[in-house]
A and B are shown apart, each in its own frame.
Chain A
Amino acid sequence: MVNAAEYEDRPWLDPEAEPFIKVQSVSKQFGDFTAVDSVDLEIYKGELFCLLGGSGCGKSTLLRMLAGFETPSSGSILIDGVNMNDVPPYERPVNMMFQSYALFPHMSVEKNVGYGLRRDGVAVSEIEQRVQEMLAMVELSQFAKRKPHQLSGGQKQRVALARALVKQPKVLLLDEPLGALDKRLREQTQYELMNIQEQLGVTFVVVTHDQEEAMTLSTRIAVMDTGRFQQIGTPTEIYEFPNSRLVANFIGNANMFEGRVVENGQDHVIVESRHPECNFYVDHGMSIAEGSKVWVALRPEKVMISKQQTADGNTNTVKGMVHDIGYLGGTSTYRVKVGDEHLVEITSPNQLRPKDGNPPIDWDEEVYLSWEPSSSVVLVK
């Protein structure tokens, strides 16, 4: 196929590609509580897909439904074309890496890793060989005889990964895979996980509450809240073009301005804001009636701060007073009061070393904020 190469890294754009996992209007109720509310999702082969959301948003329930520990109250889940609704967990072509790792405490590392193969009735010699290969891959060969309590957190995590991967599942489910590791180890493991995924070509579905983790790991992210998907897209799409205030606030920080559409052009929109008084010229067109109430989201790093007025008028610029400065070394965060009480957050790189200990911009100084037409996003909800 001609298109194959073009869509290799982004199969979800390929109109002819068949999704590997299909979640079709799946709901899950626990008593009166709806954990997952009629969601649809398509995940393609080889993806590293993240379900991102706060606790109680339904992401873990969805993952457990993929693994087979929970049955959907309605809707169906298809993996590789097969309806999984009536397939028990022990017969599903998926394996899971648990948040607690769930290593069997009474079995050695190699017994843990080989457990799934023994259940499948694989020949002893083959089990031995495959376990060794797997342990070599996660660099734990010399720990084969140890019991789980004799391992560090990072080692346990790798045993859990090896145990889940040794059966060569079609899909690997990971529940907060890095949650129990400390920050430094987490960053390192993050890249190891990506390498292994690339090397084996297994489809990964990761559940996480950590947006940074989701951003670095995934091909695509589904942001979940109260049992529904708020937005599904690549990390860039989600960050640069959030579709709601909720997503914009959940992923990174955003300044939010309430306003009214005063001009809706072919390739631009102008939004008039009252607090602070300024106009937003946004260079993406959208189908929205003039006069409707909208919000403009502006990322802190996309706002330029200056002591000099850089542009005339009040379009894409506003005057304010420095209220707070947070010096973070590489960058500084400014909170600037515009209008009567509205605070705008700006992060700006510290490119120049301050002279005589005086920062380039100081508390209570008058400053001008400005931004590019392409920097802001208009949100209708």
Chain B
Amino acid sequence: MSTPGETLATADADPKSSLLQRLTRLAQDHWRTLVLFVPFAWLLIFFLAPFFIVLKISMAETTVASPPFTPMIQWVDEGIMHIRVVVDNFAYLWEDDLYVDTYLNSLKISVTSTILCLLLGYPIAYAIARSSHTTKHILLMLIILPFWTSFLLRVYAWMGLLADQGTINDLLIALGLIDEPIRMLYNTFAVYVGIVYTYVPFMILPLYANMEKLDWELLEAAADLGAKPTTTFFTVTLPMTVPGIVAGSLLVFIPATGEYVIPDLLGGGNVLMIGRVLYNEFNANVDWPVASAVAIALLLLLVLPMMLYQHIQAKEAQGS
């Protein structure tokens, strides 16, 4: 990465130059290295290294101690025992129905929520993309605005709406539509509402970004060539918005799978999701090796979608 200019700058080095001058020269010659080094080192220490620690601990044994797991150094000496321990924590996850059910339930909830977000988000993104310049800006701002307010409080707001004595039940009883309150809070339904509510902007924004770049004349061309609106939608609009659909779906699916707050606040004790099990395993049960093993399992579940998303992002960055 050395440019010819750098060699020219060092060529006239004066041995008597002051510290400041030398520092300036150092900055001039090596700034590129510095620019790269600082964030790179930060990420290596605080992002990459922790994963290896999680991996190691997931292979340790639980003990009643602080920290509550067998020290890592120990298994360096006893290679055979090491392998036995590795199998243990993961085998435990596999054999315990609770974990398998949780795993499958998380997957079911996040896939269903993603589809719901798509069904709701697609027409909204379409409506925004096709509205006039000023309206577009206002609508986009309205979609983004909730994102800037506290996520926790927005989930909390639904507790007030969905509770047995909450706003919706009160309203329905007052209208005489029901006599008894419908149970809407602390079940899977509430979790769906919470996830769709929280993540639908993540579906709308990539879809909108995709649709905004579309050439709407193509739709007119399709109509001109005799396609009915539904045909136009399925043969022209939908195929062209696939990149937006994929990006939006991943942005909903990935965080929804690992979600903790929504199942905890809205799902009550009844809805098992993997993020919640991890949190409880760690904080309530103080079983760090199992929590780490759950984390690794969650990561395995998400690694493909995450890589797919990164791949799309990278392609996007190259395209523009």
Contacts and interface: CB of A to CB of B under 8 A. Distances in A.
B5 interface: yes
Contacts of A91: 5, 8
Nearest to B8: A91
B230 interface: no
A88 B5 CA distance: 6
B183 to A, nearest CB: 59
A363 interface: no
Nearest to A86: B4
Contacts of B5: 88, 90-91
A88 B4 CA distance: 6
Interface in A78-93: 86-88, 90-91
Contacts of A87: 4
Nearest to A71: B4
A289 to B, nearest CB: 52
B149 interface: no
Interface string A85-121: 0111011000000000000000000000000000000
B43 to A, nearest CB: 29
A224 to B, nearest CB: 28
Nearest to B7: A86
Contacts of B4: 86-88
Dominant SS among interface residues on chain A:
loop
A358 to B, nearest CB: 41
A90 B5 CA distance: 9
> How would you classify the secondary structure of chain B's contact residues: helix, strand, loop or mixed?
helix
A168 to B, nearest CB: 22
Interface in B1-33: 3-5, 8
Contacts of B3: 88
B8 to A, nearest CB: 8
Q: How large is the interface on B (under 10, 10 to 19, 20 to 34, 35 or more residues)?
A: under 10
Interface residues of A, number: 5
Contacts, number: 8
Contacts of A86: 4
A88 B2 CA distance: 11
A260 B227 CA distance: 56
Nearest to A90: B5
Contacts of A88: 3-5
B169 to A, nearest CB: 57
A91 B4 CA distance: 10
A104 B4 CA distance: 25
A140 B4 CA distance: 37
A66 B4 CA distance: 16
A86 B7 CA distance: 10
Contacts of B8: 91
A86 B5 CA distance: 9
Nearest to A85: B4
B178 to A, nearest CB: 61
A87 B7 CA distance: 11
A37 B3 CA distance: 25
Nearest to B3: A88
A91 B7 CA distance: 13
A90 B4 CA distance: 11
A279 B3 CA distance: 62
A147 to B, nearest CB: 23
A215 B8 CA distance: 42
Contacts of A90: 5
Nearest to A68: B4
B32 to A, nearest CB: 14
B272 to A, nearest CB: 52
A255 to B, nearest CB: 38
B11 to A, nearest CB: 12
B144 to A, nearest CB: 26
A17 B169 CA distance: 96
B3 to A, nearest CB: 6
Interface in A222-268: none
A186 B217 CA distance: 31
A90 B3 CA distance: 11
A91 to B, nearest CB: 7
A87 B5 CA distance: 8
A123 to B, nearest CB: 22
A29 B4 CA distance: 20
B271 to A, nearest CB: 52
A191 to B, nearest CB: 38
B1 to A, nearest CB: 13
A90 B8 CA distance: 12
A188 to B, nearest CB: 35
A85 to B, nearest CB: 9
B31 to A, nearest CB: 15
A76 to B, nearest CB: 14
A70 to B, nearest CB: 13
A91 B3 CA distance: 12
A92 to B, nearest CB: 11
B5 to A, nearest CB: 5
A86 B4 CA distance: 6
Interface string B255-295: 00000000000000000000000000000000000000000
A313 to B, nearest CB: 56
A87 B4 CA distance: 7
A87 B3 CA distance: 9
A33 B320 CA distance: 21
A91 B8 CA distance: 10
Nearest to B5: A88
A68 to B, nearest CB: 9
A91 B5 CA distance: 8
Interface string A273-299: 000000000000000000000000000
B310 to A, nearest CB: 24
A86 B8 CA distance: 10
Nearest to A87: B4
8 contacts: A86-B4, A87-B4, A88-B3, A88-B4, A88-B5, A90-B5, A91-B5, A91-B8
The 6 closest A-B pairs by CB, nearest first: A88-B5, A86-B4, A88-B4, A88-B3, A87-B4, A90-B5
Given A91-B5, A91-B8, 6 more contacts: A86-B4, A87-B4, A88-B3, A88-B4, A88-B5, A90-B5
